Structure 1
Amino acid sequence: MQSAKSKCNLTEQENGFFDDSLEKDAYIWYEENWQHDDYEHLHQRAQLTFVKEGYQYFHINDKIYLVPQNHVIWVPSLQKHKITSEAETVKLMVSLFKNIPEDYFYSQIHVFPAPPVLKEMILYAKKWNKETAENDEQEAFMNALLISLPHFCDENNALQIPLPSDKRLLEVCQFINQNYQHNHSIEELAEIANLSTRSLQRIFKQETGISIKKYVQLIKILKSIELIDCNQFTLSEIAYKVGYKSLSAFTSSYQAIMNTKPKISKKNIF
């Protein structure tokens, strides 16, 4: 979204709130090369984003959600968010829904891999890219996609990066993010926070819901996804760059987080 401008056929009204005058229930916006502007915003329509190539980070409340290639994120109506990415190219499709079923699922944020059926449905909807006129087929098709989402959702909570509110812990998180390629002891991290090791571990778990060790693992794997995306390194090189001593250790850790083995793939054309 761009300040005081229009994007995805939504126009900023005030204070980052984007609205539209379309009558149709679902609006499709496909981008070959998404341009990020790091702008926090919200809109009345709920949003389903499918990342075909590259990756995106969604910054929402006290968490950052990674949406890798072939994943989707569901963002409820009126949920403030901003989007960032260091990917060289991002190809994605945004579906914006006006009328949402009254179900708890749609009031929560969800990130999950798009199974083949959902992926094909999303790709088929590209035929209505940026169309503003009402269309009976589109309305029926997108409604079917919408009500099927809870059945497609196999959520990967590991793609959520928790952010603590305690400034001492934020300093530790920042240090880990900047030095993920090295393996630091809990004693070193505790010294940064000016806390005992026991206090650091206890407070960190209370604020984020995960251990320091798990947070470090998560950051390493998220950084590896960025390196895999750039297609410049082998998996062995990536393993060492993010601090693993062997490819097998990296593969095991990656699979534990992503539920699949890491692989270098050629860029596909949408």
Structure 2
Amino acid sequence: MDSTSLMKTFKGERVPRITMATFKQQQVEDFYEIGEELGSGQFAIVKQCCERSSGRDFAAKFIKKRQSNASRRGVLREEIEREVNILQQIHHPNIVTLHDVFENKTDVVLILELVSGGELFDFLAQKESLSEEEATQFIKQILEGLQYLHVKNIAHFDLKPENIMLLDKNAPVPRIKLIDFGLAHKIAEGVEFKNIFGTPEFVAPEIVNYEPLGLEADMWLSGASPFLGETKQDTLGNISAMNYEFDDEFFGHTSELAKNFIRQLLEKDTKYVIDLLTYS
């Protein structure tokens, strides 16, 4: 199981139609000077680019399109359209902004806000540990971004340190930016949605158990996973069985208030998971 969707089921009277995204059938190179590679994934490469008309810097995400239904290489165009449609609805200081979209025979190119401060994952690795106050500042920004999404009934479904970026890592309090909406879905009332997807150590129990999904899945994990096992099967088993503890080595100086907040996030029964629309 990886970040590619493996299985999807909708049950209900009707699935709301989404307005089709507009992809410019023009050469992205005519409008942007493409620079160095910033990162890559299974079917996408992100490069720095500069808008020729304004001189502004952006990030160009080249997504490889699947060329046939028989192929397993590339991303289905309908999945790219879903990502673009969601990004076009989003305007929040803690979420990456979509600027433009281009398409050619092999790729769809998303022109995105350039977030140059690196991944929260790398920032944490360099610092080795955060104080509770520092962690609170990051969590607050992540939750504000999520609250904005959830008001719009959008679930991210792939919230992990690699998808949480810093606008400027040298700022006194770096601004958080949520990125990568490749697995994001708009949750429709009365329509059951199930899927097996995501990154194993960060998926919620309802994903592991192939149960109906909602906004609650985003509240599961956004930092270091306490469920990581020696194998993928061990990890998924730990999640399903809720095997975790507050080891004194890592939580000896953590307040009970913070531990209680973590317990509320790591709640297997979705009825009791923190609701960002009512929690303060």
Q: Give the TM-score band, short-chain normalised.
A: under 0.3
TM-score between the two structures when normalised by the length of structure 2: 0.26
TM-score between the two structures when normalised by the length of structure 1: 0.27
- The higher-RCO structure (CA 8 Å, 6+ apart) is 2
